[in-house]
Amino acid sequence: MSNKIITMVRKELIDAARDKRSVMAGLYYAVGAPLLMCGMFFMLIGQLTSPEDLNIKINNPQGAPDLIKYLSSKGITQGDADKNKDILLVISDDYASNMAKGISADVTLIADASNEKLQKSIRRLEKSLQQYSSEMGSLRLIARGIDPRVMQPIKLNVEDQATPDSKAGMILGLATMTMIYAVFISGMNLAIDTSAGERERNSLALLLSHPVSTGQIVISKIITVTLFGMIGLLLTLIVSKFAYSFVPWQELGFSVSVNSSFIGMMMLVGLPVAIMAACLQLFVSFMAKSFKEAQSYLTIVLMLPMMLAMAASYDIAPDTLQWLPVSGQLQALIEFIKGRELPGMQLAISSLITLAISALLAFGMQKSLKSEKIVFGL
Amino acid sequence: MHHGMYSPLRARVCPTLTRRKKVALAVVIWAAILLPTVHAQPLTLSAPKAVNTTDNSCYVDGLSEQMNCGSISVPEDHDQPEGKHIQVYYVVMPAIKSSGKSEALLAIAGGPGQSAIENAKGFDQMLTKVRQTHDVILIDQRGTGQSNPLQCVGDGFASPLAINESDFDAREESQKCLDELDADVTQYDSLSALRDFEAVRQHLGYQKLHLYGVSYGTRMAQLYMRHYPEHIATVTLDGVVPMQQSVLAIGDAIARAFDLLIQDCSNNTLCHNQFPQLAAELDKMDSELAQAPKISMIADPRTGEATQLTMTRSKFNGALRMALYSPSVRALIPHAIHQASQGNFQPITGLYAMSMDGAGIAMGMHASVVCAEDWQRLTPQLRANISQHYFGREMLKTFEKSCAVWNMPTVDSSFSQAIASDIPTLILSGKLDPATPPSWGEMAMEKLTNAKHFVAPYATHGVAYQSCGNNLIAELVEKGAVADIDGECLNKDISRNFYLNASTVEAIPSDTDTKQAETALNQ
C-alpha cells in the first residue's frame, strides 16, 4: 500500500515537474512576496522616520525671529514655495508685545489634519512649539526667582515591558501572514493541474483504471501538493531571512530577525496548514468542471485564509480566531516572535482542527472520485 | 556653588528637570592645609579580577525601556585584592539591532563625581544613533551614584540661600564629611576607577570599546587609551580636559566665557540697546558684593516661603557661571546682571536655585580626584596665574583646605604627560565653553596621530548634547576612522536671542504701556 502511494507521489512529482511554467508560477510567490514586502517596508520606514528637514509656510516670520531660529535648529524652516508642505504657521501681529508683557502670544497652525501624509509633520511641529513654549516658560520662572521644577509636581515613571522583538510584532504579523500564505499559493497551480487539469487531459480516468484505490490516489495527490506548499514556504523563509536583514528596522526602534529557530517553528506549524491547503484546493478543483473554472473558484477560496490571517494580525475577534485554522497558528507564531511563551494548547487545538478539516476534505474527495460525474466532468 | 568641571547633561532647562534634591553644601565650605603625603602610583595596571556579580533587567530614571543592570565586586584597594570590596554598578542599554557582542560604547560622565546611570536619559538621547547598532554601557564610577558614593551632604543649614559662604570653616566641614564616609578616600582616584571600568568590560565580555567621555569623563577616556589601548576601537572626547592640564586652571576659561557673553550681547542690536552698560554693571555688582553681601527677604524659589537671601559674591558669580553651561539659560544672563544692578536679585536667585544641588556631584569623590590629580601638580607659577581671577582664587582657597584633610597620594608625574596614541579620536569643543575651551582641545591633540578636532561655534560645554555632534559620534563608531568625518553641520546656528526683560526674547515694542508692565512684573 505505502509502496503504491510512493510510486504515485513520484509519478505526480514527475508530472508536475514537466510543466515547468506552472511550477515556476507557484514559486514566484515564494521568492517574490518577501522581496515585495521588503520594498514596502523600505518605503514605510522612509515615511515613518521623519526626514531631517521639514519645509512649511510661515506668515509674519519677522514677528518672532527667535522662534523661527529655534524651529530652524530643529530642521523646520520656510523653504521654496514648491517644496513646502501644506502647513501654514501664522505668527500673530501682537506676538512680540504679548511676549514682552509676559502673556501668551498667539501662534496658529493651519493644516488639513485629515491628510494622512501631513500627520507626522504636524505632530513634529506641534511638539517643537510645545518644547519652545515650555523652555520659554521655565526661563520666565527663573527670571522671577522661581525654580521651574515647581511646575512639575508629579514625575511619572513609565516602565515599558516591551522588548525590541515584541515591538516588531505588528510588522512581523504582516510578514508571517505572507509566509503562511506561501503554502496556499505555491501548491495552487499544481493542485489545479493534478485534478481539473488531469481530467481535462483525460488522464484521470486512465489513472483510475489502474489497480489502485481512490483513497491512495487522493493521498498521493495531497502529499504532492503539500510537498510543493512546504517547499514554497521554505523558500519564502530563506528569501525572507536574507532580504529582511537589509531593512533598517533599527530606525523604527526595534529589530526583526528571521532566525533558524523561527524557520523551524514556522515549518512545523505550517505543515498542518499546508495539508489543509492541499486538501482544500484539490477538493475545489475536483468540483470544478474545467481548469479555468477551478482557477476562478480557487481565487475566491484563497480569500478565506487571507481574511483569517489578516484578522489574526489585526487583533479582530481574537477569542474565536485562536481556535480556527490559519489564524490560530498565526497568533501562536506572533507570540513566539514576541518572545513570549508559546500558547501550546491553542496551537495544538487549532492544528487538530486544521487536520480534521483536511481529513474531511480528503474523505469527500475520495467519495467524489467514485462518481462518474466528477471523473468525467459531466 | 561648586568648582571644577561637570557634565552638562543635567544643566538644561526644560519642564522635565529631574535633579536630585540633595544639597551639596560641603562644596561651599571646603577648606585648608596641604599635607605632603606622597604615595607612588603604579604605572602598569594589573588585570583586575571581579567577583560576586549580579545581572538583572531593570529600569533607569527617565527611560521606560528595559535595561540590563548589574554590579561587580572589586577590591577598594586594587593592590590588596583580599581587602575590603565595594560594588561597582553598571547599566547596559542594549543595542536595537546588535552587530554582535564584541563591541560596545562606554559613555563616561563628568564631574568629577557625576553618576553615569543617573544621566542615562541624556546619554540615551545623545547616543540614539549609536544605540541602533551598539550596546551603550554606563558605569557609576567608584564614589559616585550607587557605587559606594562619597557624598558630602551638608546638614544643619536651614536655608542655603541665607548662608554666607565665607563664614564656614571649610577644613572643619571636610573633616566632618571624611569622618562620616565609610571609605578609604585615597582609593577613589581616576586610575583605581579605570581598573574597575576594565573589570566591567571583561565581565560583560566585550572585546573592544568605543569610548565617549564628556568633561572630566575625557580624562577617564584618555587614561583608558593610555593603559588599555588594545581594547579601544574609537574615542570621542567632548569638552576635553587634556592630561597636561589641571582642572583647577579653569579660571581662564570662565573669564573667557564671560567676555564672550558680553561681546555677544554688544554685537546684538536688541541686547545692546536694552543693556548698553552690561560690562560695567557686572563689574559694579562684583565689586559691591566683594565689599559686603546684600541681605534681603525673598520667597524661596522652590517652597515659596519667605526666606532670607544673603547675596554674596560667591552666589552671584556662581549662579552666572553655571548659567553659562546651557545655551538657553545663558540667554537670561544679561537680564539677570542688569536687574541685579538695579537692586532686583530675583533673576539671579532663580539661576542660583538651578545649581543649588551641586548638579548631582558626589563631592567626596570630586575631592579625591582633584586633590590627587590636579591640586598637587600646581607649581607656584600656575598658582599665581590661577589667582588672577576670582574663581581661580576661590578654588585654590577651597582645595587648599579640603585637600589637606583628604590627604591623597600624589599621582606619578607621568600622569600629566600628553596621550600618545593612534586610536581614531574625535575631539569636540564648544566655542562658548565656560570650562574646557577649544585651546584645551588643541592641547589634547599634541601626540594623537589619528585625531580630528572640531569647534562648534554655538555650543557651550558638552557639544554632542547641543548639536549634531551626536551624529559625528555615530559616524565614527560606524566607520572606525576619523578621516572622512565632516564637522560642517556643527556650524548650524542654534544660538538663542537674549532675554530683554523677564518675559521675552523678541524685540520689545516701544510704548510706555509695555515699560510699565515690565516694571510691574519685575517688582
Provide, as residue numbers in chain A, all residues whose Cβ is less than 8 Å from the Cβ of B503: 99-102, 140, 143
Whether residue B152 is predicted with pLDDT greater than 50 in this model: the reply is yes
Q: Does A142 contact B505 at a Cβ distance shorter than 8 Å?
A: no
A131 CB near a chain B CB, below 8 Å? yes
For testing contact with chain B, the best of A50, A76, A147, A160 (most B CBs within 10 A): A147
As a whole number of angstroms, the distance between CA B438 and CA B145 comes to 29
Q: What is the dihedral of CA B373, B377, B383, B387, to 10 degrees?
A: -10
CB-closest option in B64, B346, B518 to A145 = B346
CA B63 remoteness from chain centre: 22
A158 CB near a chain B CB, below 8 Å? yes
C-alpha cell at A112: 488639513
Beta bridge partners of B452: B426
- What's the pLDDT tens digit per position in A235-263? 888 988 888 888 887 777 777 777 888 88
Local confidence band at A314 (pLDDT 50, 70, 90 cut-offs): low
CB-closest option in B332, B353, B493 to A139 = B332
Provide, as residue numbers in chain B, all residues whose Cβ is less than 8 Å from the Cβ of A148: 13, 15, 17
As a whole number of angstroms, the distance between CA B347 and CA B332 comes to 8
Whether residue B31 is predicted with pLDDT greater than 60 in this model: the reply is no
As a whole number of angstroms, the distance between CA B110 and CA B153 comes to 19
Whether residue A186 is predicted with pLDDT greater than 90 in this model: the reply is no
CB atoms within 10 A of CB A360: 13
- What's the pLDDT tens digit per position in B337-396? 999 999 999 999 999 888 776 667 888 899 899 999 998 888 888 888 888 888 888 888
Of the candidates B442, B431, B449, B451, the residue with the CA atom closest to the CA atom of residue B495: B431
As a whole number of angstroms, the distance between CA A186 and CA A233 comes to 8
Q: What percent of chain A has pLDDT over 90?
A: 15
Per-residue pLDDT, averaged over A353-373, amounts to 87
Whether residue A129 is predicted with pLDDT greater than 90 in this model: the reply is yes
Whether residue B154 is predicted with pLDDT greater than 60 in this model: the reply is no
According to DSSP, the β-strands at B51-58 and A54-55 are unpaired
- What's the pLDDT tens digit per position in A100-125? 888 899 999 988 878 777 888 888 89
Of the candidates B168, B213, B136, B203, the residue with the CA atom closest to the CA atom of residue B464: B213
* Higher-scoring residue by pLDDT: A73, B261: B261
Strands in chain A per DSSP E: 54-55, 57-59, 76-77, 87-91, 107-111
A106 CB near a chain B CB, below 8 Å? no
As a whole number of angstroms, the distance between CA A76 and CA A62 comes to 16
Whether residue A309 is predicted with pLDDT greater than 90 in this model: the reply is no
As a whole number of angstroms, the distance between CA B292 and CA B150 comes to 34
Provide, as residue numbers in chain A, all residues whose Cβ is less than 8 Å from the Cβ of B56: none
Nearest chain B residue (CA) to A254:
B96
Whether residue B46 is predicted with pLDDT greater than 70 in this model: the reply is no
Whether residue B499 is predicted with pLDDT greater than 80 in this model: the reply is yes
Whether residue B134 is predicted with pLDDT greater than 50 in this model: the reply is yes
CB-closest option in B14, B65, B503 to A140 = B503
Per-residue pLDDT, averaged over B12-31, amounts to 33
CB-closest option in B59, B95, B504 to A100 = B504
* This prediction's pTM: 0.79
Q: What angle do CA A23, A26, A27 make, to 5 degrees?
A: 90
Task: Choose the weakest-confidence range: A206-210, A315-319, B102-106.
Answer: A315-319
Using alpha carbons, list the distances in angstroms from residue B64 to A156, B119, B120, B136. 10, 14, 11, 16
Q: What percent of chain B has pLDDT over 90?
A: 42
Whether residue B225 is predicted with pLDDT greater than 90 in this model: the reply is yes
Query: What ipTM was predicted for this assembly?
Result: 0.81
Under 8 Å CB-to-CB from A118, ≥6 apart: which residues? A85, A86, A87, A111, A112
Provide, as residue numbers in chain B, all residues whose Cβ is less than 8 Å from the Cβ of A155: 18
Shortest Cα distance from B500 to chain A (angstroms)? 8
- What's the pLDDT tens digit per position in A54-111? 888 898 988 898 999 899 888 888 877 666 778 889 999 999 888 888 889 999 998 8
pLDDT for the residue B282: 93
pLDDT for the residue A199: 80
Provide, as residue numbers in chain B, all residues whose Cβ is less than 8 Å from the Cβ of A64: 506
Whole-number mean pLDDT of chain B? 83
pLDDT for the residue A333: 82
Task: Choose the weakest-confidence range: B7-11, B133-137, B309-313, B320-324.
Answer: B7-11
Whether residue B284 is predicted with pLDDT greater than 90 in this model: the reply is yes
For testing contact with chain A, the best of B97, B136, B514 (most A CBs within 10 A): B97
Q: Does B501 contact A100 at a Cβ distance shorter than 8 Å?
A: yes
C-alpha cell at B177: 564629611
Q: What 3-state DSSP class applies to B153? A: coil
A102 CB near a chain B CB, below 8 Å? yes
Local confidence band at B220 (pLDDT 50, 70, 90 cut-offs): very high
Of the candidates B103, B88, B95, the residue with the CA atom closest to the CA atom of residue B65: B95
Of the candidates B269, B299, B266, the residue with the CA atom closest to the CA atom of residue B281: B266
pLDDT for the residue A169: 66
Q: Does A137 contact B349 at a Cβ distance shorter than 8 Å?
A: no
